[in-house]
Structure formats: structure tokens, C-alpha cells
Amino acid sequence: MRKTKSMSEYFDEMFNGDGSLRGPYEEIGRWFNAEDASRLRAKQREAEEVFRLTGITFNVYGKAEAEERLIPFDIVPRVISAREWQRLERGIEQRVRAINAFLHDIYHRQEIVRAGRVPAEMIAGNEAFLPQMLGVSPPGQVYTHIVGVDLVRTGPDDFFVLEDNARTPSGVSYMLENRETMLKMFPELFSATNVRNVSDYPRNLRRSLAACAPACADGEPTVAVLTPGIYNSAYYEHAFLADQMAVELVEGHDLRVVDGRVCMRTTRGYKPIDVLYRRVDDDFLDPLNFDPDSALGVPGILDVYRAGGITIANAPGTGIADDKAIYSYMPEIVEFYTGEKPLLQNVPTWRCSDPESLSFVLDNLSDLVVKEVHGSGGYGMLIGPTASKKEISAFRAKLKLRPANYIAQPTLSLSTVPIFSRSGLAPRHVDLRPFVLVSSEGINITPGGLTRVALKKGSLVVNSSQGGGTKDTWVLED
């Protein structure tokens, strides 16, 4: 097995500059070199067939109807050493604790605003801020029960947080299916490599959610997953997690408020739910309190929540913590609530709502990445270095029209991990989304997470909706 010509200006996580293997990849590199290329190609096709038969798909939204696609999977795992992971764990835990403290603060005394560390208009004028949550304290003071922290790497010891996913982070089902597929394809490789387990995530998720049950819960808490339905891009994941946790998957029409509790329809009548893992956005959660036209939520659920009759995970209003303008204040937020400097750094960010920053961004569009403040999935963004003059011109007009809707960042030299291509191992850019569970019992970080890979040569966009794929992520034991 040979490595194709590397993009030398980027940090290659598998190979040193002289072509030798980096420490974490030594075992897997030797194994790949001893393998027959035709067998590996057959295994790649077999893995794709497993994904197809299992139904591991996602929906792509565009001008036409949503299109269902098979998520691409690459058989070369990404490997992270125990030392690297320990450092990431400390930084992730620090950041998640700060995010929860920030959410409690802005819905109560707003000390960070009083201290002048975050401008008041960034809170009150933010569309993700919910006045209905003012004064509400969820059980255990937990707002973000499930968090996805997107990380990128630019060097051996250089990791950055690209964004925080505190609303309804997705992708954990792909992490689990990737591992299950690799175990089926290459059991001998796992026998030779001491890789930390991720398969206990569903059990840990249910335990973590149950630990956040409201005081009115009687006995073993009843947990359910609320989905918008089969046409949602992440429906596969909703059904997968409900099945893995052995809990009910429900839609809004399955639920109603009965005697001050949110109850689900069963063959024996309506049964109270203690914890609802919702995958429905705030706007559609309760037509009586938010969008009156929503058919996805439950009328009155927010009133039950405010009265302590149910736990909603993640809490309504958490979306402000993954707002990309608030992201730019995360170093101040971490230091304010922890008293420590951030262990994981932010990517430098220009807030286009600031006239001086806007002027700089407009003058340098061809060199920057510009994102919508509330955007996700790789939609609505501009990658200046790869954009055409026409695309930059059109984006310039949008930016001038609604500058507060955007932030800009430099184009980072994202690290690469090889994919298995026809010509050998070829470098492609990656990011990493570790998944974090938060409860009154503590913080649990799954060792690894979802590695997303830009399958197109030179592309920096890893989102599956934009042509990216996924890899299994291996965290090595000490």
C-alpha cells in the first residue's frame, strides 16, 4: 500500500514529512502495507453495501424536494493517541461546563452582561434567545444534555474549536455505525490495536437523560425521543437512538398534555413522559408559545416544562450557545465562568455586525470563510479561496444587505488523514465532532466521535450535505 503525493503544506496525521508513520498510526500502517489492495477494495465495497442495507442515509435539501443519499464511508480509520485525547477531553469538559453556566446566567441574573464581557444586544437581540426561559432552572441546572464540539487540527499540538453544537447535535449514529462496520470488516485489526470502546454510548445516553428527570418522576424515569418525522434529514438517527436506548420514538401528534404532564399515546391510554429527548427546533416545539402553525410540537409543553413537569433535552433556548456570533466571545465566556484560560482555542473570528470588521471582510472576501450566524450543515457559507468571482460578488451583496447575519474566519490549513483511493492512500481534510453527555452526575465524553472527511481533493468542506463522508475514529488506550 503506497501513499500518493501529499499536500505538503498541511499537517498529515498519519505520515511524517519523510513518509514514515507517525506513532499513533504505526500498527495500522503496518497492517495496511501488508494487505492486498484488491481485498481492501472489496472490503470498501462491502462496507458501502452494509450501509445501504442498514439504511444509513441522510437527506439533502435544495431547490427541489429533499434527496435521500447514502452517506459515504472510508475504511481508513482516524487514530488519536491517548495523550492527544486526554488533552482534548480536558478542554472539551472545560468548555461544556462554561456553556452550561453561561446559559443559566443569561436566563437569570446576566452577570456576564453586567460585567461588560458580552454586550447586552448580543443576548436580547439574538433570535435564538428565548424570553420564555427567563427564570427557568432545569433539573440539575443542565441546559445542554448532549453537546457536539466541532474540532479542527492544524499541527501536532494545534487544535481549535470550529463551532459548538448545543441545540440538537447530530451524527452520533454514524459514529456508532462506523465502528460496528469496521468491527465486522476488520476484526483482526482490532485484535492487534487497543482501541477504546464507543458502543456504550446509547446506554450512557439513556442513563444520563434519566439522571436529569424532574422531581415529579415516579420510579424509573420514562424517556422518549421526539422526532419531526420521516422527512427530517436526521430521521435515521432519531429512530436509531430510540431503538438503541429501548425507548419510544414519538411525533408531536402522539403526545398531549394531561393533568399537567406531557403524555404519550399507548395501547393502554396516555402515559406520562419524564424526559423528552427532542430533535425538533425551538420554533416548532410548542404552537401555543412559539410558531402557531407548527404541527411538529406539543401544545402547552413549554408550560409543563416551566412548571417542572418534564425535562426537555436539550433545554429550549440553548441555541444561543451555538450562535456563531456568541462563539466569538467563547474565550471570555470560558474565563468568566471557570476562572481559567481556555484550554482549547477559538478560530479568530470577525463579527460582520461591527463596521470595522465588515470593512475588513469585504476587502478580503477571497481569502476568508464567511458563515451565517445561525447556519448549519455547510449551507449558506462562502469559502473565498475556492469561490468564483461571480460567487464572491453575489455574496458581497448579501453581506452588505445583512451584515449582522454573518461572521468571517481565516481559511485554516486543516489537517489531513488518508482515505483509501484507487491509487493508494490519498490525503483529505477532516474535522472531528466528539459527543458529550451532561447530567447532574457529571460529564461523559465518548472517546473519539465523528470524523467527517472532505472526499474531494483539496476541498475543506466536510459536511455530508456538501459531498463529505465519514470515518471511524480510534482513540488508543495508554
pLDDT tens by residue, 51-94:
887 766 555 444 444 556 678 899 999 999 999 999 999 999 99
What is the sign, positive or negative, of the torsion defined by CA atoms of 404, 405, 407, 408?
negative
Q: What is the pLDDT of residue 461?
A: 79
468-475 and 73-80 as β-strands: parallel, antiparallel, unpaired? parallel
Q: Distance (Å, rounded) from C-alpha 364 to C-alpha 476?
A: 41
Work out the number of other CB atoms within 10 angstroms of the CB of residue 459: 16
| Predicted TM-score of the model (pTM) | 0.92
* E strand or H helix at 148: strand 146-155
Q: What cell does 239 get?
A: 429512530
Which pLDDT value is given to residue 65?
A: 46
CATH architecture of 350-410: 2-Layer Sandwich (3.30)
CATH 3.30.1490.270 domain position(s) in the chain: 350-410
Contact 195, 186 (CB under 8 A): no
Per the document, the length of the chain is 478
Question: pLDDT at position 68, please?
Answer: 61
pLDDT at 246 over 60: yes
Highest mean pLDDT among 140-144, 369-373, 385-389, 459-463: 140-144
85: helix, coil or strand? helix
Q: Please, which pLDDT band fits residue 274 given cuts at 50, 70 and 90?
A: very high
Report the alpha-carbon distance of residue 316 to residue 313 in Å, rounded: 8
**Element (DSSP H or E) covering residue 15:** none
Q: In the predicted model, is pLDDT for residue 377 greater than 70? A: no
